[in-house]
Structure 1
Amino acid sequence: MSAYGGYSNTSYGAAGGDDGGGFMWGSQSGSQSAVKPINDESLRPVTIKQIIDAEPAYAGDASFRIDGLDVKQVTIVGQVRTINPQTTNITYKIDDGTGIIEVKQWLDADKTASETTTQTISEEDYVRVWGRLKSFSNKRHVGAHVIKPIRDVSEINYHMLEATYVHLFFTRGGPPGGDGGAVGGGDGDSMFVDQGDDARHRGYSAKGRRMYDYLQRSGNPTEGIHMQVIARETGMTIQDVMAAAEELLSHGTIYTTMDDETYAILDR
């Protein structure tokens, strides 16, 4: 796992729902694959204004630079203003107070829109989006991997603080006396400080920790591990695995791979 500026990269490459549609690990659609290979898939918390103001990274490529660094994978938090279901995708207009951007969630050809969105999302709901920055006809949007409704309003403020913190780290450096090799440095509780398994587990239930530990010990295969295997190997019931998965998904710690019952860790 590599890093730039201390911000660790992630194997959350082109998980299901990428802007090309369907699930292809590490794939890109169209002519992009011939332009520049993916060598940094860091997940970056950003505001919508940062996306709007991002500079093109390479001529003819749909890559962007924020704070002078290449950015492909982002997470944003905002309020849904409009929802436009279409044959091949659902387009959401998301507003986070700094700007408005379209988020496109491409549909599996074998699933309906209601089946693709496992949790109901309505206009005026606040959501968190994980996805890839895209540009089509000089108009930017986010090709969503995952869209989840926000249940805890504090997550909205937390995201804005996190995006601000990362922006300041890359533009002004880490805090005085902090460890320049890790965002956050020092002895703080930042999610970017490598404080071992205890830090990653902070706030998780016993079921969540058990499922996370098993996925980690199993080498976190890119194709993921099915819930039935997790239940069998950890001694948990299917109901416990489902509850643990929902908890880890809501934290952005894991994501679904081949189907809605197969999971892998979202490395940071």
Structure 2
Amino acid sequence: MWKRVDSSQSGREKMSHSQLMLKKSTLQILPCTVSQLLSASHVGSDNFVISDCELFQVSVVGVVRGFAPFVTFMEFSVDDMTAPPVKVKQWVNSEDCAMMSVASPGSYVKVTGSLRNFNGQRSLLAMNIRCIKDLNEITSHMLEVIQAHMKLPVKEFDVNMNSLVSQSGRFVQSLSTIQDQVIHVIRTFPDQTVGISFDDLRTEMNHLAVADVRSSLAFLLNEGHVFTTIDDYHYKTSV
């Protein structure tokens, strides 16, 4: 189960530095769907957030749709049916390649790693890839996703665990993943005086088609979630 690390916890048992780092890493693994990873807000070179919570290590469960071994790494395509498959890369040595060859297309795997942005395409840099023998683990993972994301700050989620938008304490219309991402980028832009310009918004969301950003922005403006400031090309959020 994912939860925040409480460094001030009393009665904490003494442990070595390496043990502490391992414990911290384990506690910060957030169960996710592929849909959430592909729609997470991109706030830096390799920094992503979901519901205003920064992602560190994440885990996904899905079926292998593609598998390609290379000299120094292996590349997978993992599909959990919530979005298009996500690319997964794992650096390996020759012994690892022989061991991981069992993760053939059609098999279910659990991937633990970190979300990365390679040449504008999101992928998972895997820390561990494990084949799933008991299909009950798929159901268990989805329950963990629901439980973990219900604990994230002040948001509710749809059937694929994508966030709903809160307005005046009530959760209203469910936004699409792109609309939710647009509203997050606008809300967190550093210049809160005049808001974000369309050019800056397009730069922050360069992994998406400009047409998708425009249509999402138009919807948010029409619904009152976003408003213009000094001209028709600077925006702030109303929620």
TM-score after normalising by structure 2? 0.52
5+ residue gaps, structure 2: 7-20, 157-239
Q: Where in structure 1 do 4 or more consecutive aligned residues deviate above 3 Å? A: 171-174
Question: 1:213-252 alignment to 2 at 5 Å?
Answer: none
Query: In structure 2, what is the equivalent of residue 82 of structure 1?
Result: 66
- TM-score normalised by structure 1 residue count: 0.47
Counterpart of 1:105 (choices 63, 68, 90) is 90
How many residue pairs get matched? 138
In percent, how many aligned pairs have the same letter? 29
| 1:10-25 matches, cutoff 5 A | none
- Mapped partners of 2:65, 2:47: distance in 1: 26
Structure 1, unpaired ranges of 5+: 1-5, 11-25, 27-38, 175-268
- The match for 1:43 among 18, 22, 29 is 29
Task: Report deviation, 1:57.
Answer: 2.5
The one of the two structures with greater contact order (alpha-carbon pairs below 8 A, sep at least 6) is: 1
Structure 1 counterpart of 2:41: 55
Greater per-residue strand proportion: 2
Distance 1:40 1:69 in 2: 17
**Cα distance change of structure 1 residues 40 and 77 upon mapping to structure 2, 3 Å threshold:** closer
Matched residues in 1 for 2:36 and 2:155: separation? 18
Q: Distance between the aligned counterparts of 1:43 and 1:9, measured in 2?
A: 11
Whether the 8 Å contact between 1:41 and 1:73 is mirrored in structure 2 is no
Aligned to 1:127: 109
Q: Deviation at 1:112?
A: 5.9
Partner Cα separation in structure 2 for residue 9 and residue 159 of structure 1 = 21
Deviation at 1:81, TM superposition (A): 0.4
Residue of structure 2 in register with 1:70 after alignment: 54
Kindly provide the amino acid, as one letter, of the partner of residue 134 in structure 2: D
Give the corresponding residue for 2:144. 162
Structure of greater Rg:
2
Where 1:170 maps in the other structure, the secondary structure is: coil
Letter in 2 for 1:151: K
Q: Is the 8 A contact 1:57 1:70 kept in 2?
A: no
